A and B are shown apart, each in its own frame.
Chain A
Amino acid sequence: MDYFRNIVIVAAIAGALAGLAMTVAQQLTTVPMIVKAEVYEEQGDATATAHEHGAETAAHDHDHGEGWAPADGAERTFFTFAANMVTGVGFALLLVAVSELFGGIANWRQGVFWGLAGFVVFTLAPGLGLPPELPAMPAAELGARQAWWLGTVLATAIALGLLFYSRSLVAVLAAIALLVAPHVIGAPQPVSYESPIPEGLHHSFVVAVVMTALLFWVLLGGLAGFFRERFIHAA
């Protein structure tokens, strides 16, 4: 059980720190764009339901679904922060667990490359077919997109494992096939791409998401390598 405990300790520290950094990066880049997109979304809703151009209410509680939602401002930021910390630890657990199967991350420098692999698996590959979306953007049915996302993540992860840890040509060819297959199948796309969101805003958002995710993964990998040396390797 000590081994399990040490994995959790390393993942908790690395995940929490990377999650914290991610929160700062998001508040500076992606979140302001999401809030801006919600204004377009609400304007779209307003003109669609009733032709009221009167009091232009700023984005208050966003209206993607019914039920409780955090209030704008500190509360909303807090929950984004919490989600970043929790999922940071979750991704760290996955990263540390998988790397332990292959002998563990030796140091922070190796960790950076493990982080890059995580970035390719969880951001680059699924993001090619399903680019980051802003609120009010059209998308295909959620279940189909989640299934494609999951399949792409799995196929890409297995492919990278084969590329790095196998020496046979057949394995390398299989890895390349696994990398390409999800994109040959193609991600579920919306019926129409019409959206109230300006093209420029969406493009900036895609760049911001990919760059904040890159920062998160490199930091997560580096920190995991750094703390592994102290908590697992030293044991």
Chain B
Amino acid sequence: MGDLDMNTFSTKPEGDGIHTAALTASRVVPIFMAALLGIFIVGGVGFSRIEAVHNAAHDYRHSMSFPCH
């Protein structure tokens, strides 16, 4: 993992003794992007009313108890 950015998950013990990672904008933006992508994916498969998508994921939706037809 040598090429990973050291600063993206920086802990900031020098601040006021808080050892959890600081929630800076550089972390919050990627986190929200990832969450949006997740919502888009789950919503697309679980909630889509497009007939073909519904039929393809039919057994999945029943098995995960998504509201289905």
Interface residues of A (CB under 8 A from B): 1-4, 6-8, 11, 26, 30-31, 34, 62, 64-70, 76, 79-80, 82-84, 86-87, 89-94, 96-98, 100-101, 103-104, 122-123, 126-127, 130-135, 139, 142, 145-146, 149, 209, 212-213, 230-235
**Which of A62, A101, A103, A130 meets B65, CB within 8 Å?**
A130
Q: Distance (Å) between the CB of A88 and the closest chain B CB?
A: 9
**Which of B9, B31, B39, B67 meets A145, CB within 8 Å?**
B67
Interface residues of B (CB under 8 A from A): 1, 4-6, 8-9, 20-21, 23, 26-28, 30-35, 37-42, 45-47, 49, 51-52, 54-69
Q: Is the CB of A79 within 8 A of B56?
A: yes
Q: Is the CB of A97 within 8 A of B34?
A: yes
Q: Is the CB of A149 within 8 A of B38?
A: no
What is the interface of chain A mostly: helix, strand, loop, or mixed? helix
Q: Is the CB of A11 within 8 A of B27?
A: no
Chain B residues near A31: list those with CB within 8 A: 59, 63
Q: Distance (Å) between the CB of B47 and the closest chain A CB?
A: 6
Contact A133:B57 (CB < 8 A) given known A1-B30, A235-B8: no
Q: Is the CB of B62 within 8 A of A132?
A: yes
Chain B residues near A82: list those with CB within 8 A: 56
Residue of A nearest to B57 (CB): A83
Q: Is the CB of A30 within 8 A of B35?
A: no
Q: Is the CB of B55 within 8 A of A80?
A: no
- Supply 10 A–B pairs (Cβ within 8 Å), ascending by A: A11-B34, A62-B58, A65-B69, A76-B59, A79-B56, A84-B60, A87-B64, A123-B65, A149-B67, A234-B1
A87 to B61, CA, bound (A): 10
A198 to B58, CA, bound (A): 21
